Amino acid sequence: MTTGTNRSTATNRAIATDTAAVATEATGAGSAAGATRLVDDGLFADVAPPRLAGARCSGCGTVVFPRQESCPQCSGGTMTAHVLPVRGRVWSWTLQAFPPKPPYRPPAEGYRPYHVGYVDLGEVLVEARLEVPRADIRIGLEVRLITVPAYLDEDGTQVLTFAFEPDPEGER
Amino acid sequence: MTRARSDEVYVVGCGMHPFGRDETVTGMDMAERAVREALRDAGVAWADIGYAAGGSDVSGKPDTMVGRLGLTGVPFVNVQNGCATGASTVLAVANALRAGEAALGLAVGFDKHGRGAFNASPARYGLGDWYAETGMMLTTQFFALKTRRYLHEHGISERALAMAAARAFRNGSEHPMAWRRKPLTVQEILDSAEVSPPLTQYMFCSPGQGAVALVLALGDRAFDLCERPVRLASVALRTRRFGSFEVFAPWLPPGPHRSPTVDAAEAVFRAADVRPADVQVAQVQDTDSGSELIHLAETGLCGHGEQEELLAAGETDPTGRLPVNTDGGCLAGGEPVGASGLRQFHEVVRQLQGRAPGAQVPGGPRVGFTHVYGAPGISACSVLTV
């Protein structure tokens, strides 16, 4: 059985660490092979290390992701930027076992099955790619936020998205 | 709620084009055939229809079929309401009849989808391109994620998913209008290709094609036309409220997650003055086997966590205490979105009239139930009685 993890934790960490620097280089210099960008800047509050940009309602405390201008719960409060926690637990998971149709964009090396799931961050559950081997994946697994390569732009720019991997500091 | 018989709406005729794949017909061709069959079944002419509603997701504007059926000037409402399209057409026609618009109405639904999983555009759902580009915009993932969590919370095994699918294909094998008519064993279903675990290939329905039409009549007219009219005791349509767990959701609030199914089912049972335990034949949305298990409990037909025992004991078989998806449901019929909800009505009506096309529930069932659920968080339920 194939698992969705085709990139090592070490690689993920290196990419995550490089993101800010590379993204900065890419800005202004134009895109080129070796450069990276985020799949959508609006999703991120920070890149090295990555933080997700949510919003919180001043009226009822509801936390949403990505940011939106009005509260879906109370319609009353104002929404302010809110950086989401980076650690949580797998709430549910599955495997994408067949290649999705466009507008899905496969990674440079081609489609490989991958895990997705919801991660319980306490104040909100976020849907994300899960960089966890099949043998280890389970509801309740402690995970932490990373970035991973999603696909290549036509000019070779590596596009990064957010994901979660097993948290080395979590309980066994 | 008690109404005078003169205010009651009844199903007096139904027609169905077989579900499945047939490259020789268009969606509109199938709809026309279903309408003509329903009119013949009711013993009326198209010119007698005083109000019509039709629904299709992808196969054309339903009201254009007046060009085929006859340009009688009939008011004809088009509905495009996802999985609740069929129930919405019934609701529109029933309300028009009760409001005095006409004594005889027609509801029709049809669709003909391409092969493979539904493909959705992020912009249409108010989402950024990133969501689809990174491979998270798939309905199959949603059903798997919801099912995985549900099994975990209620201690249900993956085998129960296969049992639900096996029953669907068993019922489909006896139904002349079902698409999938080959019975499959629990093991064959468990061993079929993994799509999104815990769901395998044979635990998912496929987009398909088909058409269904119903003739509805008000009050005494129904009894003039039909030996055994089926009373539309209630219909309810609901959209999601905050905190429901829906398809294409980049985030969810912490639970509990309440589905629009719960609201629609509560409303429909209250309005019909019927308890879930009174239901003798039920159709629930089985886009996948996990959805069926979840919906059986969300509608109140059983308790959360009781599904596996019910399935194992054969209680959801046509001969059981709670016959479910007696025509094979979406799993055996496929899911032509515009026709799927009306297929449920067709099956329940024929069961209550004692002339089921496939496996007939024995003992003369008198109370039937239908349920649909779909994106982006809608549900419709109905109670039908004789």
pLDDT for B292-328, tens place per residue? Answer: 999 999 999 999 999 999 999 999 999 999 999 999 9
CB interface of A with B, residues 126-165, below 8 Å: 126-129, 139, 150-151, 159, 161
Q: Which residues contact A167 (CB under 8 A, 6 or more apart)?
A: A87, A142, A143, A144
Q: Say whether A94 and B145 touch across the interface (CB within 8 A).
A: yes
- Residue B1's pLDDT band, with cuts at 50, 70 and 90, is low
| Confidence (pLDDT) at A56 | 97
Residue-wise pLDDT for B186-230, tens only, equals 999 999 999 999 999 999 999 999 999 999 999 999 999 999 999
| Residue A99, phi then psi, degrees to nearest 5 | -65, 125
| Confidence (pLDDT) at B123 | 86
| A94 vs B145: CA distance, rounded Å | 6
Work out the average pLDDT over B150-172: 98
Residue B253 reports pLDDT greater than 60: yes
Burial annotation A124-159 (CB, 10 A radius, 16+ → b, else e): bbbbbbbbbeeeebebebbbbbbbbbbbbeeeebbb
Residue B172 reports pLDDT greater than 60: yes
Q: Position A119: which residue type?
A: V
- Residue B255's pLDDT band, with cuts at 50, 70 and 90, is confident
Residues of A in contact with B204 (CB under 8 A): none
Residue with tokens 């696909």: A151
Residue-wise pLDDT for B326-369, tens only, equals 999 999 999 999 999 999 999 999 999 999 999 999 999 999 99
Q: Say whether B133 and A122 touch across the interface (CB within 8 A).
A: no
Indicate the domain borders of chain B: 5-115+210-225, 138-205+233-385
Indicate the domain borders of chain A: 9-52+85-166
User: What percent of chain B shows pLDDT beyond 70?
Assistant: 98
- pLDDT tens string, chain A, 172 residues long: the values are 333 333 333 333 333 334 444 444 444 344 456 899 999 999 999 998 999 999 999 999 999 999 999 999 997 889 999 999 999 999 999 999 999 999 999 999 999 999 999 999 999 999 999 999 999 999 999 999 999 999 999 999 999 999 999 999 886 5
Q: Which one of B130, B194, B249 has the shortest CB-CB distance to A43?
A: B130
Chain B nearest-CA distance from A56, in A, is: 12
| Confidence (pLDDT) at B119 | 66
Q: Say whether B133 and A127 touch across the interface (CB within 8 A).
A: no
Residues of A in contact with B146 (CB under 8 A): 92
- Residue B163's pLDDT band, with cuts at 50, 70 and 90, is very high
Interface check A172 vs B, CB under 8 A: no
Residue with tokens 């020789």: B24
Q: Say whether A100 and B252 touch across the interface (CB within 8 A).
A: no
| B67 vs B347: CA distance, rounded Å | 28
Residues of A in contact with B119 (CB under 8 A): 101
| B292 vs B197: CA distance, rounded Å | 16
Chain A nearest-CA distance from B75, in A, is: 37
Query: Domain B5-115+210-225 carries which CATH code?
Result: 3.40.47.10
Residue B48 reports pLDDT greater than 50: yes
| Confidence (pLDDT) at B297 | 98
| B287, B82 contact by CB (below 8 A) | no
Angle at which helices B337-352 and B85-98 cross, to 10°: 60
Interface check A124 vs B, CB under 8 A: yes
Work out the average pLDDT over B255-279: 96
| Confidence (pLDDT) at B126 | 86
Could you tell me which CATH class the domain B138-205+233-385 is placed in?
Answer: alpha beta
Q: Say whether B144 and A114 touch across the interface (CB within 8 A).
A: no
Interface check A117 vs B, CB under 8 A: yes
User: What percent of chain B shows pLDDT beyond 90?
Assistant: 92
| Confidence (pLDDT) at A172 | 53
Residues of A in contact with B195 (CB under 8 A): 97-98
Q: The pTM is what?
A: 0.91
